[in-house]
């Protein structure tokens, strides 16, 4: 990820209760100062802060100040509640403007960085970098590599393509190498592969196996040969999860079938897990889903909760991701409360959405915590998320969002005027 975006600004946040994302205890009455390059110069107790130097001042009024959050699994190119196969019917202008609106809603929810895992053209990433639109900093996989008839094959049985350009179908080791080169040509920051079938796909089951170990190894090798790109594996059933881990993927997406053996292997390989619990807690809707999709979700929701609770208990690196589009956009931080529901501490969930996520995206040197030398991506929230993590899930409580020192959202009360 090119972490630097178009604009930056000098900023000073005062009267903050600072949760810096490192796991350290909160600091009451803290100050955060960023220079005009948007880089944090100081984040700590007010007593040790440098004197004001004409920066824009935000009075947090004792509210909690956190690092800007990451959502490591979104589909910003897709509307919630609409089958991916319908996208091909949409007017391309309306489709693009809808994506622009979802970028805004995601940023307003406190997500200052996001990783799109299928369906988002690379131009949106560049548009955010250049300041043409406001949204989270982006990494995008652009398209999803999978087998014929597999999870990413959004086609009718007669072969008619409804994917709107999201599918990259490949069925042999040579074809997956070629597919990897095509998505890199399209501007992909990372590669997304299907190791298993899925919920929303009509022709397979979550336990079905998809790319073989040799094919996933070939994709990882092409990623390595092109600047060391990460490989994210859609992996739901246990057998496909094991295949993806043996091949050496960077992250297991969903991980619903993570049994003890899978946790052992993930512990050995160092793979991240992105559990996308929002799809289970908020993404099940009988009215809008095809029946096959609804039935699969019902069958898998209990399995998912049992296994992801195990992943959390085992202390594997968990990064926050929602699969937004399957569930609603713009309420990404509800995922924090689902992680807590399955056993994480509120502080642990905050770290999953900040520091650990920045490690998964390879940007932990610049983002993910509020420390001197990092970029000032900041969220200010009403309420105490360490007592009640659900406060962050309501975008109305996310009263201020900052990227690289630039205020993108500000619902804070106007500063009291001093009588002349
Ligand atoms: Zn997804």
Domain ranges of the chain: 11-68+369-410, 69-360
Per-residue confidence (pLDDT) for residue 254, from 0 to 100: 97
The mean pLDDT of 237-255, rounded to a whole number, is 98
Bridge partners of residue 40, in order along the sequence: 34
Per-residue confidence (pLDDT) for residue 6, from 0 to 100: 66
* pLDDT, tens digit, 9 for 90 and up, residues 333-351: 999 999 999 999 999 999 9
Q: What is the mean pLDDT of the chain?
A: 93
Per-residue confidence (pLDDT) for residue 247, from 0 to 100: 98
Burial of residue 415 (CB within 10 Å: 0-12, 13-18, 19+) is: exposed
Nearest to 194 by CA among 158, 155, 247, 264: 247
Q: For residue 153, how far is its CA from the centre of ligand 1 (angstroms)?
A: 13
Cα–Cα distance, 219 to 191 (Å, whole number): 8
Q: For residue 295, how far is its CA from the centre of ligand 1 (angstroms)?
A: 18
Per-residue confidence (pLDDT) for residue 419, from 0 to 100: 46
Task: Name the class of domain 69-360.
Answer: alpha beta
Q: Which residue has the tokens 């399955």?
A: 342
* pLDDT, tens digit, 9 for 90 and up, residues 58-84: 999 999 999 999 999 999 999 987 776
Query: What are the φ and ψ backbone dihedral angles of 27, each rounded to 5 degrees?
Result: -110, 120
Q: For residue 200, how far is its CA from the centre of ligand 1 (angstroms)?
A: 10
Cα–Cα distance, 358 to 114 (Å, whole number): 10
The answer, yes or no, to whether residue 160 has pLDDT greater than 90, is: no
Q: How far is CA 119 from CA 85, 99, 145, 163, 286, in A?
A: 12, 10, 12, 9, 24
Task: Name the class of domain 11-68+369-410.
Answer: mainly beta
Q: For residue 117, how far is its CA from the centre of ligand 1 (angstroms)?
A: 6
The answer, yes or no, to whether residue 282 has pLDDT greater than 90, is: no
The answer, yes or no, to whether residue 159 has pLDDT greater than 80, is: no
The mean pLDDT of 309-324, rounded to a whole number, is 98
> Which one has a higher pLDDT value, 30 or 301?
30
The answer, yes or no, to whether residue 217 has pLDDT greater than 90, is: yes
Q: Which residue has the tokens 């992996």?
A: 235
* SS3 of residue 226 by DSSP: coil
Residue 338 and residue 389 in contact, taking contact as beta carbons nearer than 8 Å:
no
pLDDT interval class at 293 (50, 70, 90): confident
Q: For residue 387, how far is its CA from the centre of ligand 1 (angstroms)?
A: 30
pLDDT interval class at 85 (50, 70, 90): low
* pLDDT, tens digit, 9 for 90 and up, residues 358-399: 999 999 999 999 999 999 999 999 999 999 999 999 999 999
Residue 136 and residue 103 in contact, taking contact as beta carbons nearer than 8 Å:
yes
The mean pLDDT of 224-245, rounded to a whole number, is 97
């Amino acid at each position: 990820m090119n972490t630097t975006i178009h604009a930056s600004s000098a900023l000073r946040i005062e009267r903050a209760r600072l949760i810096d994302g490192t796991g350290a205890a909160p600091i009451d009455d803290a100050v955060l100062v960023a220079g005009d390059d948007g880089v944090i110069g100081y984040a700590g107790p007010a007593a040790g802060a440098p004197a004001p130097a004409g920066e824009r001042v935000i009075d947090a009024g004792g509210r909690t100040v956190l690092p800007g959050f990451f959502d490591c699994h979104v589909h910003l190119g897709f509307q919630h509640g609409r089958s991916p196969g319908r996208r091909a019917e949409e007017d391309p202008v309306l489709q693009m403007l809808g994506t622009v609106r979802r970028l805004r809603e995601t940023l307003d929810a406190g997500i200052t960085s996001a990783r799109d895992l299928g369906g988002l053209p690379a131009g949106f990433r560049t548009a955010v970098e250049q300041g043409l639109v406001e949204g989270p900093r982006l990494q995008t996989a652009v398209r999803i590599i999978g087998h014929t008839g597999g999870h990413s094959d959004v086609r009718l049985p007669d072969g008619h393509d409804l994917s709107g350009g999201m599918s990259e179908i490949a069925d042999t080791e040579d074809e997956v190498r070629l597919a990897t080169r095509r998505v890199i040509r399209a501007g992909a920051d990372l590669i997304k592969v299907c190791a298993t079938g899925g919920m929303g796909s009509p022709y397979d089951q979550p336990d079905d196996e998809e790319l073989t170990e040799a094919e996933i190894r070939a994709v990882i090798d092409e990623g390595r040969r092109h600047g060391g790109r990460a490989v994210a594996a859609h992996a739901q059933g246990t057998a496909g999860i094991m295949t993806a881990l043996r091949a050496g993927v960077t992250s297991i997406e969903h991980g619903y079938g993570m049994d003890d053996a899978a946790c052992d292997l993930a512990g050995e390989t160092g793979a991240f897990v992105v559990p996308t619990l929002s799809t289970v807690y908020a993404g099940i809707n009988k009215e809008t889903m095809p029946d096959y999709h609804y039935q699969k979700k019902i069958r898998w929701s209990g399995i998912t909760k049992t296994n992801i609770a195990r992943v959390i208990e085992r202390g594997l690196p968990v990064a926050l991701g929602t699969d937004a589009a399957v569930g609603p956009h713009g309420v990404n931080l509800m995922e924090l409360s689902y992680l807590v529901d399955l056993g994480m501490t509120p502080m642990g969930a905050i770290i999953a959405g900040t520091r650990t996520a920045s490690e998964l995206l390879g940007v932990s040197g610049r983002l993910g915590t509020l420390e001197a030398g990092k970029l000032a991506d900041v969220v200010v929230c009403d309420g105490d998320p360490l007592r009640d993590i659900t406060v962050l899930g309501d975008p109305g409580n996310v009263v201020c969002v900052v990227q690289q020192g630039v205020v993108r959202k500000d619902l804070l009360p106007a500063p009291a005027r001093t009588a002349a």
